[in-house]
Amino acid sequence: MNKKINTIIFKVCSPLMTLAAWEIMSRTGVLDIRFFPPPSLIFADIYKLFAEGILLKDIWISLFRICCGLLMGGLPGLILGVLMGRSILINKFFQPLIALTFPIPKLAIIPLIILLFGIGEFSKIFIVAVGVFFLIVINTFHGVSRIDRIYFDLCKIYKYSLYDRWRHIIIPGALPAIFNGLRLATGTAFILIVGSEFVAADSGIGYRIWVSWEVFQIIHMFSALFVLAFLGWAANGIIKILERWAMPWKTDYQRECEE
């Protein structure tokens, strides 16, 4: 219990102390206040932007794009990853394709996607989906193909049904790797949505950052950055809760090791 309180104190204190140091340095002129407005003003600005309804709209549209992208890339990735893990033939066919296309930085194909789909909503969702797809495919494939073969021996010995085999061996066996993929994919989704909103958008958090910088409203830029940091942190927290729910067999120690 003591240890728990300890970690919570650190989790709260280290960001707070960093913000306090920043506040003092901005106020005393160590940091140039034009480029580094003090956090208290940033929070006030966030409050103001929320009150005006601008920020909420930006958050909503960016999250919408991220969620659509996660679904659009994640579901096919999940299916293909499982198929590759279960079938050598499918694996042999797709492995080289993935090896060749995965290393391309996803931001590099933004122009191509705009060329193909225009600068509408679909382009931004699609670029997220592409990035998500690869991470989910690769992690799901590894998860499925590395399930201990001893469990498949058990299938033969105890004559598990096809349903039991999928429900109680393949899916739970691959789940830790799939969640790993989901965590990485969500991080990538944030990077990609901000990148594509820089280039071709008139809404969203990335657009807000870019436009604030263009008109030299540094404080709005910081506000959007703070919100972005919070959203990333919250997304990670949601995934953690999902993991706990989906994999109740993991011990706290195992969870700590994976973080």
Partner 1 sequence: MQDREIVQVRNLTKKFKTSANTDILVVDDVSFSIKEGGFYSLIGPSGCGKTTIIRIIAGIEKSDAGEVTINSAGGEGHVFSLAYQQNDLMPWLTVEDNIRLGLNQKGYDRDKMSSVINSYLKEVGLEKFNKFYPTRLSGGMQKRVSLARALSVNPELLLLDEPFAFLDFQTRLTLHKLILNLFMEEKKSIFFVTHNVPEAIMLSEKIIVFTARPARIKAIVDIPFTYPRNLEKIRTYKDYIDIFDKVSELLKDEISKSDEMERKKMLEKVLEHE
- Interacting residues toward partner 1 by CB under 8 A: 150-151, 153-154, 156-161, 164, 168-169, 172-173, 175, 247-249, 251, 254
**Min separation Cβ 240 and partner 1, Å:** 18
Question: Which C-beta is closer to partner 1: that of 142 or that of 168?
Answer: 168
Left, alpha or beta for 129 (phi > 0: left; psi -120 to 50: alpha)? Answer: alpha
By the 8 A CB rule, do 140 and 85 touch?
yes
Question: Which C-beta is closer to partner 1: that of 32 or that of 153?
Answer: 153
**Min separation Cβ 243 and partner 1, Å:** 13
Where are any strands of DSSP class E within the chain? Answer: none
Question: Which C-beta is closer to partner 1: that of 36 or that of 166?
Answer: 166
Cα→Cα distances 10→13, 67, 131, 257, Å: 5, 31, 34, 18
**Min separation Cβ 251 and partner 1, Å:** 6
Question: Which C-beta is closer to partner 1: that of 48 or that of 168?
Answer: 168
SS3 at position 146: coil
**Min separation Cβ 139 and partner 1, Å:** 17
**Min separation Cβ 157 and partner 1, Å:** 5
Closest residue by Cα to residue 131 from 117, 156, 149, 113? 113
Closest residue by Cα to residue 70 from 201, 182, 196, 232? 182
Question: Which C-beta is closer to partner 1: that of 76 or that of 173?
Answer: 173
Phi, psi at 249, each rounded to 5°: -80, -15
By the 8 A CB rule, do 69 and 129 touch?
yes
Question: How far is C-alpha 81 from the geometric centre of its chain's CA atoms?
Answer: 19
By the 8 A CB rule, do 205 and 57 touch?
no
**Min separation Cβ 160 and partner 1, Å:** 6
Question: Which C-beta is closer to partner 1: that of 172 or that of 232?
Answer: 172
